[in-house]
Amino acid sequence: MYRFSVTICFIFASLVIVLFTLIISDNSFKPATDQAAVLVQDLTAIRIWIVVAALALYSWKSATKQPRGQFLAVVTAVAWIMFLEDYMVLDGVLIVASQPLAQLVILTRPIFLVALTYVAFKQWEVDLI
């Protein structure tokens, strides 16, 4: 179950990276308003680096068998905060297009959050033992 959840997290992160790369490079992603256009640029520019950094750090910590409960707790908290911000403020921004990939990311996001939370709790248990 732990590995399955980790796999879900990796797949979601990959989808997000691909989506954000498309948003930056492809003009077909048109936000609804000018305000949304500004926000989506800002958010994608920052968040893509957060996702990449989190993936790289997790992989490095896993490979070197370092404790990563604290790291996962931080990543989980930030992921939930991003979700809250998107849901309450930026829903008209991130739900930018009827692109299948964007819809896939939106649909799989709750699954990712649950999986990430599970991984964080499980890892915390492992680190304590």
- Taking contact as CB under 8 A, which single stretch among the options 1-9, 14-22, 77-85, 101-109 is the one that binds other proteins? 77-85
Which member of 14, 59, 70, 103 binds other proteins (CB under 8 A)?
Answer: 70
Q: How far apart are CA 76 and CA 116, in angstroms?
A: 6
Within 12-51, the residues that bind other proteins by CB under 8 A are 35, 38-39, 41-43, 45-47, 50
Q: How far apart are CA 11 and CA 67, in angstroms?
A: 23
- Is 84 one of the binding residues for other proteins (CB under 8 A)? yes
Selection from 55, 89, 99, 59 nearest residue 75 by Cα: 55
Selection from 26, 47, 45, 49 nearest residue 97 by Cα: 26
Binding site for other proteins (CB under 8 A): 35, 38-39, 41-43, 45-47, 50, 70, 73-74, 77-78, 81, 84-85, 88-90, 93
